[in-house]
Amino acid sequence: MLVKINGSAVYGVEALPITIEVNWLSSSGKDPMIVGLPDNAVKESLQRIESTFKTNNYEMPRTKVVVNLAPADIKKSGTAFDLPIAIGILAASEQIENAEALNRYVIMGELSLDGDVRPIKGSLPIAIQARKQGFKGLIVPLANVREAGLVNNLNVYGVNNIREVIEFFENGETGLDQIQVNTREEFFNSQYDFEIDFADVKGQKNIKRALEIAAAGGHNAILIGPPGAGKTMLAKRLPTILPPLTLQEALESTKIHSVAGKLPENATLISRRPFRSPHHTISDVALVGGGGVPQPGEISLAHNGVLFLDELPEFKRTVLEVMRQPMEERRVTISRAKVALDFPASFMLIASMNPCPCGFHNHPDRECTCPPGAVQKYLNKISGPLLDRIDLHVEVTPVPFSQLSEKSEEESSSSVRERVIKARDTQLERYSEKGIYCNAQMSSNMLKEICVIDVVGQTLLKKAMEKLNLSARAYDRILKVSRTIADLENSENIKPEFLAEAIQYRSLDRESWAG
C-alpha cells in the first residue's frame, strides 16, 4: 500500500515542502530503505523507528518497505523526519485505521527509542509553509507547539509521543488540544522587561551620549579604554535604549533563532532586540554562518539587534574580514554546489578594545609599559576597511572614586529610549521611499541631499580634517553622525556644533592617536 505523508525541510530561514512516500511491497527478506538524498541522521531513523514500534507494540514490516523523500534532488538532513516516516510505515502496513486524513496535515518530530517525541529546529518556518500550502493542521513536538502556534489560520497540535499521533487519526482527528497563541499579547507584554538599566552606570555621561547617538542612527561603534573602565557594562545596556522591535522584526528574529535551535523550550516570539556576544576564539563559520548543512551564524542571530565583539583585536583577522560584506549588504549568502542560501544580518556592531597590549596607553594615572611600536602594531590588527564601517570611535576613561560614591540618580534607559525612538521616527519618515530606515544606511548620493552643511560647517570640517589628520574615509561618517545628532535635537539643519561633536568620535582616524 502506498501512503504519502506531508513534511517539511528547512533551508536557510525558509521551509520547503517535502512529501514522504512510503510503499509496502510484497517482496520479502528486504530491509527497509530510504531514498531521496537522506543524510546519515535520516537513514538512522529506521533504527529509532524499529525500537519505537517494538516498545509500543507495533510491528516493523518484514517485507520490503521503500521510503522516498520527494523532491529527490534536495538533500534531506536532521532527525525531524522520524515521526512522519514512522507514521507513513504504520499507515502503509495498515496498522493505522482511517489513514485518509493524513494528507490534511504536516507532521514533523524526532523519535526517541521509547516513542517519545523530541523537539526539532525550525518549527516556525515549517508552520508558515504549512499555512501557505493550505494544510488543515500541523503536528509537532509539544516543546515546539507555542513557537508554531504563532501562525494563525492553522490548527497546531503538540504531541508527547507517537501513540498520541496514532490515536488522533484513529479517533477521527480528535483527542489533541489545539494551541492558539495571542501573538500581540505575548509580544507587547515583555518588550521592556530588562534586568539592567543605564541608571546602574555611574558617571560616563559622554559614553552614554555616544551610545545614545549610535542607537538613534543605527551606527556601529567601538569603545576604546583601559581594563575596568566599564566598556562591557555599557555595551550590554545598549539594547535597553534601542527602539522596540516591530512585530515583523520579531517574527524575522524568531525564525532565525528557531532554525538555529536557539529558542528556549516553550518559547514564542523574541520580543526584545537580540544581543550576541561571541568569544574571541570563534571561527569564521560560527560567526558568519555555514557548515555542511548551512546554519545561521552569530551575525544572523544578532539580526535586528546588537553584535558585541569584546576585545576586538583578539579576534582572528580572517574572522573579522568575513564580516565586511555582510555589514554592508545586511545579509550573508552561503553558497553550496546545488544551493545558495541567504541569511539576514542587519545588526549594529558594537566593539570594545584596549588602547594597547598592556591596556594603559593614554591612561590618566597609570603608565603604559608597551615597547615602542607596540601600540600601532596592536591597532593594526583591525583593518582599515573594517574600521571604515565603524562610525563612532569612543574613548572610555576610568570613573573617578568621587563619581562612584555619589548618591545622585542617573538617567534611566527609558528616558533615553524615548529620545532615541523620536529620532528614529524622524528617520523612518525621511527614508520612507528610499528603502532604508536609519542614518547609518545612507548612501553617498543620499549624503549630498540629506547632509547639507552651511559655510561655517564646511570651514569647521575642513580645518578638522587638516588639523587632526583625519583620514578621507572619516568624512562620510562624520556627516552621518552629525545628521543623527541633529535628529536627536529635532533640528532640520546640521549645525556647526553638531559637526564638532561628530568629529570627536573619530579618534582612531587621527594619525597621532597611537602616539
Contacts of 40 (CB under 8 A, 6+ apart): none
Q: pLDDT-derived band of residue 139, with 50, 70 and 90 as boundaries?
A: very high
**Number of continuous H segments (helices) and E segments (strands) in the chain:** 22, 19
The number of beta carbons lying within 10 Å of the beta carbon of residue 291 is: 10
Q: How far, in Å, are 72, 156, 266 from residue 142 at the CA level?
A: 29, 10, 8
Phi, psi (rounded to 5 degrees) for 340: -125, 125
Q: How far, in Å, are 71, 83, 108, 119 from residue 8 at the CA level?
A: 11, 12, 7, 15
Higher pLDDT, 82 or 25: 82
- pLDDT for 287 beyond 90: yes
Q: pLDDT-derived band of residue 28, with 50, 70 and 90 as boundaries?
A: low
How much is the average pLDDT of 159-180? 90
Hey, is 35 helix, strand or coil?
strand
Q: Which residues of 48-70 are buried (b: 16+ CB within 10 A; e: fewer)?
A: bbbbbbeeeebebbeebbbbbbb
Give the Cα separation of 136 and 506 in Å (integer).
57
- pLDDT for 469 beyond 80: no
Whose CA is closest to 280, among 317, 252, 245, 255? 317
Whose CA is closest to 224, among 302, 298, 313? 313
- pLDDT for 18 beyond 60: yes
Q: What is the pLDDT of residue 205?
A: 87
Domain ranges across the chain: 2-181, 198-434, 442-515
Cα four-point dihedral sign 447, 451, 456, 460: negative
- CATH classification code of 2-181: 3.30.230.10
Give the Cα separation of 213 and 373 in Å (integer).
33
Hey, is 275 helix, strand or coil?
strand
Cell matching residue 215: 542607537
CA atoms in the 13 A half-sphere facing the CB of 47: 6
Largest Cα–Cα distance in the chain? 91
Average pLDDT, the chain: 88
One-letter identity of residue 426:
T
- pLDDT for 491 beyond 50: yes
pLDDT tens digits, 306-341: 999 999 999 999 999 998 889 888 999 888 767 788
- pLDDT for 247 beyond 80: yes
pLDDT tens digits, 336-376: 767 788 899 999 999 999 988 888 887 777 888 888 888 88
Q: How far, in Å, are 121, 389, 409, 441, 483 from residue 217 at the CA level?
A: 34, 14, 27, 9, 8
Q: What is the pLDDT of residue 27?
A: 63
Instruction: Say if 2-181 and 442-515 have the same CATH topology.
Output: no
Q: Give the H/E segment covering residue 321.
A: helix 317-321
Q: At what angle do helices 496-504 and 455-467 cross, to 10 degrees?
A: 20
Pairing of strands 392-395, 221-224: parallel
**From start to end of 336-408, where are the E strands?**
340-344, 348-353, 392-395
Q: How far, in Å, are 50, 216, 395, 399, 504 from residue 416 at the CA level?
A: 59, 10, 21, 21, 21
Whose CA is closest to 29, among 70, 4, 63? 63
Tell me whether the omega of the peptide bond preceding residue 125 falls within 30 degrees of 0, making it cis: no
Give the Cα separation of 259 and 297 in Å (integer).
11
Least confident span in 1-15, 38-52, 175-189: 175-189
- pLDDT for 413 beyond 60: yes
Cβ proximity of 459 and 500 under 8 Å: no
Report DSSP state, residue 396.
-
Contacts of 454 (CB under 8 A, 6+ apart): 493, 496
One-letter identity of residue 313:
P
Cβ proximity of 367 and 360 under 8 Å: yes
- pLDDT for 202 beyond 90: no
Give the Cα separation of 342 and 132 in Å (integer).
20
One-letter identity of residue 130:
A
How much is the average pLDDT of 42-56? 94
- pLDDT for 487 beyond 60: yes
To the question of pTM greater than 0.85 for the whole model, the response is: yes
CATH T-level topology, domain 198-434: Rossmann fold (3.40.50)
Q: How far, in Å, are 15, 87, 121, 129, 464 from residue 133 at the CA level?
A: 11, 21, 20, 6, 60
- CATH classification code of 442-515: 1.10.8
- pLDDT for 186 beyond 70: no
Give the Cα separation of 339 and 347 in Å (integer).
25
pLDDT tens digits, 253-284: 999 999 998 987 777 788 889 999 999 999 99
